Amino acid sequence: MRITMIGSGYVGLVSGACFSDFGHDVICVDKDESKIAALKAGRMPIYEPGLEALVEKNVAAGRLSVTTDLAASVAGVDAIFIAVGTPSRRGDGHADLSYVFAATEEIAAAVTGPTVVVTKSTVPVGTGDKVEAILREKRPDVDVQVVSNPEFLREGAAIGDFKRPDRIVIGTEDDGARKVMQGVYRPLYLNESPILFTGRRTSELIKYAANAFLATKITFINEIADLCEAVGANVQDVSRGIGLDNRIGKKFLHAGPGYGGSCFPKDTLALLKTAEDFETPVHIVEAVVKVNDSRKRAMGRKVLNALGGAEAARGKSVALLGLTFKPNTDDMRDAPSIAIAQALTDAGVTVRAFDPEGTEQAKRMMPDLTYCSDAYEAATGADAVVIVTEWDAFRALDLTRLKQTMAAPVLVDLRNIYRREEVEALGFGYTAVGR
């Protein structure tokens, strides 16, 4: 099939590359000329394991191409996917749909025949109706069906998620559009990946409900971690104990410094705004957002306490290991490291930082930090080392070497990747989460 993917960011590029790997002919479109030029030169705009090789393979096979010319890219194709950004709008937290509607206007001006327009971007309930209204108004002469097909990709594991999905959600009640979408996902259908066909508004809400529920699980276990510290319990054992209940499940029950990234923060806010607009408050999600925001600041205080308190910390040096919101990505959006670094610098602490992939992104957001080439350089002269993101590179640090480079042997493990007895046996002061 012939597919156009509007937007060559995280969702658009991964989806386009995977569709082309299925055998479809895919064009990825983006207005950013520098991004398209970089892609044509083989440079990826994002870090995602396996993506560069996948793009290179399918470009060489002639199934995948990139361009800035939207008009030429939508003529005569079977499906047009809208995969542009929907960031939180300043002031009210609602999803900014300006990029979605701008893409829709351009599609309407360029489409030449029957096609299916698919909203892949995460959009509030009713967005598909507005997209359809624009297309109907601008091009009443063309049969265009609008479908919702939300993405469920985890950064760092996106290619595997796309090719071996838990489910594929497709929102349409039109038989023709349904057949087109079955053709698009035929390779996965043959592998018996679950495909849920539902109404368009239901499909839009499924995405938000899923992310809000996962954010709730993370926030729940983080609050239980605080309780564990107060009563002398171990949150890791609590997580295992409740996760073995198959009604709960073990995923997203790892205590830490709070959630971040491109999805959970903006999607929970957008869901709150939608609920407010329809006068059906979602108090649990509201609490999740508040608790998560306060938790990131609390992690900064936790580090200061490990240094002896805010007064004692002034003038000291801290090494932050891991800056991205999770490992295997360069995404810094709403990363806990931002709030932690701010709390430390506000207290007069010098912050030295290292991240395997996120340094360039971090420099734009936190230009006042000192950036290092590896964990040991960051730890040089530090009064504490703080593990913020659980990159594999930090799971087996040479703690003896680390201690030798530090001014004081203090390890603050915000991801619980080390055993207390082993660290303390080497002479470290050790602070964990919920243990």
CA 190, 195, 199, 204 torsion-angle sign = negative
Name the packing angle between helices 127-138 and 200-231 (round to 10°): 150
| 372 noted as active-site residue | no
Torsion of CA 155, 341, 259, 45, to 10 degrees: -20
Instruction: Tell me if 82 sits within 8 A of 100, measured CB to CB.
Output: yes
Query: What is the rounded CA–CA span in Å between residue 24 and residue 181?
Result: 13
Length of the chain: 435
CB neighbour list of residue 183: distance below 8 Å, 6 or more residues apart: 1, 78
- In the block, residue with structure tokens 């658009």: 12
Instruction: Tell me if 238 sits within 8 A of 245, measured CB to CB.
Output: no
Query: What is the rounded CA–CA span in Å between residue 355 and residue 374?
Result: 8
Both structure tokens of 426: 């080497």
Got the DSSP string for 246-266? TTT-STT----S---SSSHHH
Query: What is the rounded CA–CA span in Å between residue 259 and residue 153?
Result: 16
Nearest to 394 by CA among 342, 328, 297, 334: 328
CA distances from 82 to 101, 131, 148, 292, 396 (A): 10, 10, 10, 30, 42
CB neighbour list of residue 232: distance below 8 Å, 6 or more residues apart: none
Burial of 160 (0-12, 13-18, 19+ CB in 10 A): middle
Instruction: Tell me if 57 sits within 8 A of 21, measured CB to CB.
Output: yes
Catalytic residue, chosen from 28, 228, 263, 372, is: 263
Residues known to be catalytic? 263
